[in-house]
Amino acid sequence: MKDHPSKEQTLVIIKPDGVQRTLIGEIIKRYERVGLKLVALKMTVPTKEMVEKHYTLDPEWRRITGEKRIKAAKEKGEVLDTEDPYEITEKVLRVLKEYMASGPVVLMVWQGAHAVSIVRKITGGTEPMSTDVGTIRGDLVLDSYSMSDDDGRAVRNLVHASGSVEEAQNEIEHWFSTNEIQNYRLVGEEILYDVNLDGILE
């Protein structure tokens, strides 16, 4: 049988800049208040190997991320050194490993209806400068593709969030063992998912 939508899970990583900016509480609050349930949480300093594996779990990541960068450059009239998405992501992956392994990160699994899309919406787009106000990346940091590329480092955007349900499943497996993920009921979930709402009136 198909799982109820309320069982969907996604992976969030508060990146080293999020931890250093003391934004752990602020970031968690934004996912928590929408109604998602935190089912796993830990802090670690990732190895570069774990970071590379994480980003290349999806065989299409290199192409998609490179193409996203090319599209952003076209929109802004920027000229890139190369128009080859794979060359772009070769560099991105190198600087990403430096970034992600530079200090402790907070790894989390969030569960709830449409968790993957809801978390991406709250997180915002890759580039803080151009993403929407109201999102974590839009409200709490100010980096851009052009500044980070010129400086030879990764875009600092505070958090990672899985891009699809399949990506989420693979990433959760990559960072967590099953016994680290809690299976529990949250009292407040009833008002989100209960069909009859027959438990309110006395």
Binding site for ligand GDP (CB under 6 A): 65, 68-69, 88, 92, 95-96, 126, 145, 148-149, 154-155, 157, 160, 163
155 binds, among ligand GDP, Mg ion, none (CB under 5 to 8 A by kind): ligand GDP
- Nearest CB to ligand GDP, comparing residues 27 and 88: 88
Angle 48-51-54 from CA coordinates, rounded to 5°: 150
Beta-carbon contacts of residue 145 (< 8 Å; ≥ 6 apart): 69, 72, 73, 78, 127, 129, 155
Distance between CA atoms of 70 and 137, rounded to whole angstroms?
Answer: 20
**DSSP-H helix ranges across 57-164:** 61-76, 85-100, 115-123, 136-139, 145-150
Residue 187, φ and ψ in degrees, nearest 5: -55, -45
Shortest distance, position 147 Cβ to ligand GDP, whole Å: 9
Shortest distance, position 51 Cβ to Mg ion, whole Å: 12
- Nearest CB to Mg ion, comparing residues 114 and 120: 120
Shortest distance, position 111 Cβ to ligand GDP, whole Å: 20
Residue 4: active-site member: no
- Nearest CB to ligand GDP, comparing residues 64 and 191: 64
Whether 162 and 13 have beta carbons less than 8 Å apart is answered as no
Please pick, among 4, 54, 160, 174, the residue that the annotation labels catalytic: 160
Distance between CA atoms of 12 and 19, rounded to whole angstroms?
Answer: 13
149 binds, among Mg ion, ligand GDP, none (CB under 5 to 8 A by kind): ligand GDP
Q: Which chain residues interact with Mg ion by CB under 5 A?
A: 163
- Nearest CB to Mg ion, comparing residues 40 and 155: 155
Residue number, nearest CB to Mg ion: 163
Bridge-based pairing of strands 159-161 and 105-111 is: unpaired
Shortest distance, position 151 Cβ to ligand GDP, whole Å: 8
The SS3 of residue 108 is: strand
Whether 110 and 39 have beta carbons less than 8 Å apart is answered as yes
Annotated catalytic sites, by residue? 160
